[in-house]
Structure 1
Amino acid sequence: MQKLNRIDDIKELISNKKMVLLYFSTNDCGICTTLLPKIEKMLLNYTEISSAHVSIDELPAASGEFMIFTVPTVLLFAEGREIIREARFISIDMLEEKIQKYYRN
């Protein structure tokens, strides 16, 4: 998962790729650190989804731009439109189930 540190880079990724998963976290979030490798592993099954990690500590403006009120937050975009938003207590199984609904279409 690539790490993005500029709002323009994030917007460009969203507009240029069919599906994009963004993972927002902070450095002091233990759950964020534990969840990231699980999401990366899950994404191996979805080769059409581009992904990026955004640290709110390194890019505070991202929290306002994408309305991130808690971490971790996962956003999934399809053709530039946000279709999934999961935050705080994220179940990998439930997230994957939601992704599958859009991924197959």
Structure 2
Amino acid sequence: MKEIENLSNYAEVEAFINEHELSFLYVSRPDCSVCHAILPKLRALLEHFPQMKLGQVNALQVEEVAGHLSIFTAPTLLLFVKGKEYLREDRFVRFADLEEKLARIYEFYTSD
């Protein structure tokens, strides 16, 4: 399973996004059953992309994440490349489609 970094305030979220060339942010809520179901699948999927870093944010704990990143539902999955948002998936995620999108982006940014 992909290692996950828990981010407990918005300063940590910003630092995570800016410190990693490929940063994947998972915004969830503890009372969200969909969030609990998706996380293990996401961690398994991201194992195929070793240079992508995974960070998790509890939207109830870090409330300002919603305003800063325009998040209206949980879970929200965001991929940032060099600090800019490149991909967003909300609530119900089609993992086959997500894997295809991630593979294209990953190949483009990691090929020499």
TM-score of Structure 1 vs Structure 2, range by shorter chain:
over 0.9
Q: 2 CA distance for matches of 1:64 and 1:26?
A: 15
1:12 corresponds to: 15
Q: Report sequence identity in percent.
A: 31
Q: Which runs of 4+ in 1 moved over 4 A?
A: none
Matches within 5 A, 1:67-86: 67-86=70-89
Task: Indicate which of 45, 48, 63 corresponds to 1:45.
Answer: 48
Compute the displacement of 1:93 (Å).
Answer: 1.2
1:89 corresponds to: 92
Q: Aligned letter for 1:13?
A: F
Compute the displacement of 1:14 (Å).
Answer: 1.0
Q: 2 CA distance for matches of 1:98 and 1:38?
A: 16
Q: 2 CA distance for matches of 1:70 and 1:93?
A: 21
Indicate the SS of the match to 1:48.
Answer: coil
Compute the displacement of 1:10 (Å).
Answer: 1.0
**RMSD value, Cα:** 0.7
Q: 2 CA distance for matches of 1:40 and 1:47?
A: 11
TM-score (normalizing by structure 2)? 0.91
Question: Residue deviations 1:53-96, cap 9 Å, x none?
Answer: 10111111111111110111000000111000000111111111
Question: Residue deviations 1:2-58, cap 9 Å, x none?
Answer: 110111111111111110000011111101000001100111111100110101111
Structure 2 unaligned runs (5+)? none
Task: Indicate which of 25, 46, 54 corresponds to 2:28.
Answer: 25
